């Protein structure tokens, strides 16, 4: 076994690593066997072992033996460990596919601990970083179990309920439909500019799940190109404002996308007015404003009755949107739409997050946006959700030094509730 003798007695001088490097490798192999016999040893993560085959446990065993063998080499130990493992496993004539899985686990054995213990498991950027290295499906489940085994084999006292929870939460996020949809979207944007990829990570999960990755990726590319400075374009002038209506086919979902290259006050209210005017009720909304892309807002609406034709509805919405651009913003003191509760969820020096809850009603989003605009608030983002007869709108607005957040929310409550 190449490189093992170099690790005998090799000690990392810190409180975390309890064993010498050679003892740690043997301890890791022992932990693989213990977890195979008693999955509850690693808490909630043990449930992933139920689907493990004998081959999965062999992969974990070899990875445990080799994952740190490159320590002391003077370079990244994961890379060095992979090289040593590949040399030995190929010399012993193991199958290529099996070797590939062991080497992947050896090379990336720290990826999940870094994501879970130092990152945010709910962020699409975290999912993307793991998906980019192939951490999906059975590989992700093996790595989650191996991460717990590695911690146990390093220092038993280091395996805490906190670490168990963080790893389990990360795995649950990775296996949710929205995370899998983000993975497909990132693959569809593989050759896109880095700025566009970072922008895609900010999209609401509902939107990424509602549209096919190909449709959304193509729309992002087209919108990105439309937003580039005119001086950098070679295909002539383009419209800096656009509207698109998409019918998703079998699922029957209808989505409307507004894009404006440069944000301006009252723009979101104008979108909501146009939707309300043509009789479309908003189910969900993904509101995004970017310095380069501009305003990129999506609304899922309740499908209108009868034969639906996207182009016809695009024309109707465009007319309503254009007509509403010059309409004044009302200062609403009394409204027919009533909410049950308005709350200040959080506040910071640059942003306030306000929640509006109630019964779903036609024009509810428009009413809420007009009330915020009447208070002089600039809306940064919004998440609009309806289920059954209930609605829950969460809006992030730019904080104002000349206003008191609690007083604003109190006025909104009097006006809207």
Give the pLDDT of residue 344.
92
Which CATH superfamily is 207-228+238-326 part of?
A: ACT domain (3.30.70.260)
For residue 17, what pLDDT band results from cuts at 50, 70 and 90?
Answer: low
Q: Which residue has the higher pLDDT, 390 or 55?
A: 55
Q: pLDDT tens, 267-278?
A: 888 888 888 888
Q: pLDDT tens, 301-338?
A: 887 777 778 888 999 998 888 887 665 554 444 457 88
Taking 90 as the threshold, does the pLDDT of residue 107 lie above it?
yes
Taking 80 as the threshold, does the pLDDT of residue 189 lie above it?
yes
Q: pLDDT tens, 277-303?
A: 888 888 888 888 888 888 899 998 887
Give the pLDDT of residue 236.
44
Query: What are the sequence ranges of the domains in the chain?
Result: 5-175, 207-228+238-326, 328-417
The H helix count followed by the E strand count for the chain is 16, 9
Torsion of CA 364, 253, 322, 294, to 10 degrees: 90
Q: Rounded to an integer, what distance in angstroms lies between the CA atom of residue 239 and that of residue 229?
A: 12
Secondary structure (DSSP) of 337-367:
---SEEEEEEE-SSEEEEEEEEE--TTHHHH
* 328-417 CATH pick, 3.40.50.700, 3.30.70.260, 1.10.10.10, 3.30.160.20: 3.30.70.260
Cα-only R_g, the chain: 27
The yes-or-no answer to whether 207-228+238-326 and 328-417 have a common fold is yes
Burial class (CB in 10 A: 0-12, 13-18, 19+), 393: buried
Q: Rounded to an integer, what distance in angstroms lies between the CA atom of residue 90 and that of residue 85?
A: 8
Taking 80 as the threshold, does the pLDDT of residue 12 lie above it?
no
Q: What is the mean pLDDT of the chain?
A: 85
Share of the chain above pLDDT 90, in %: 38
């Amino acid at each position: 076994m190449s490189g093992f003798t170099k690790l005998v007695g090799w000690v990392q001088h810190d409180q975390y690593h309890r064993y010498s490097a050679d003892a740690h490798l043997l301890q890791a192999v022992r932990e693989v066997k213990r977890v195979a016999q008693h999955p509850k040893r690693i808490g909630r993560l043990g449930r992933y072992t139920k689907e493990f085959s004998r081959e999965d446990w062999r992969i974990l065993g070899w990875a445990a033996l080799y994952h740190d063998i490159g320590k002391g080499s003077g370079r990244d130990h994961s890379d060095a460990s992979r090289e040593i493992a590949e040399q030995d496993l190929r010399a012993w004539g193991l199958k290529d596919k099996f070797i590939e899985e062991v080497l992947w686990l050896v090379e990336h054995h720290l990826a999940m601990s870094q994501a879970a213990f130092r990152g945010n498991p709910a962020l699409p950027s975290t999912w993307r970083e793991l998906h980019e290295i192939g951490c999906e499906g059975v590989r992700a489940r093996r790595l989650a179990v191996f991460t717990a085994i590695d911690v146990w084999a390093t220092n038993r006292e280091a395996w805490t309920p906190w670490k168990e929870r963080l790893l389990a939460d990360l795995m649950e996020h990775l296996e949710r439909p929205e995370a899998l949809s983000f993975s497909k979207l990132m693959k569809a944007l593989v050759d896109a500019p880095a700025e566009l990829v970072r922008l895609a990570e900010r999209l609401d999960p509902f939107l990424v799940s509602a549209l096919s990755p190909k449709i959304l990726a193509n729309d992002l590319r087209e919108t990105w190109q439309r937003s580039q400075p005119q001086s950098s374009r070679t295909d002539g002038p383009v419209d800096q404002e656009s509207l698109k209506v998409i019918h998703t086919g079998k699922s029957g979902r209808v989505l409307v996308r507004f894009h404006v290259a440069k944000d301006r006050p009252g723009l979101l209210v104008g979108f909501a007015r146009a939707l309300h005017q043509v009789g479309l009720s908003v189910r969900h909304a993904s509101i995004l404003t970017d310095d380069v892309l501009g305003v990129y807002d999506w609304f899922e609406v309740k499908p209108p009755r009868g034969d639906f034709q996207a182009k016809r509805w695009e024309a109707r919405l465009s007319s309503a949107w254009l007509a509403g651009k010059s309409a004044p913003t009302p200062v609403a003191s009394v409204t027919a739409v009533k909410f049950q509760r308005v709350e200040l969820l959080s506040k910071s020096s640059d942003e306030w997050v306000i929640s509006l809850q109630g019964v779903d009603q036609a024009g509810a989003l428009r009413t809420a946006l007009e009330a915020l605009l009447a208070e002089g608030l600039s809306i940064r983002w919004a998440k609009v959700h309806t289920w059954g007869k209930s609605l829950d709108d969460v809006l992030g607005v730019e904080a104002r030094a000349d206003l008191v957040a609690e007083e604003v929310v109190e006025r909104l409550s009097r006006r809207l509730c």
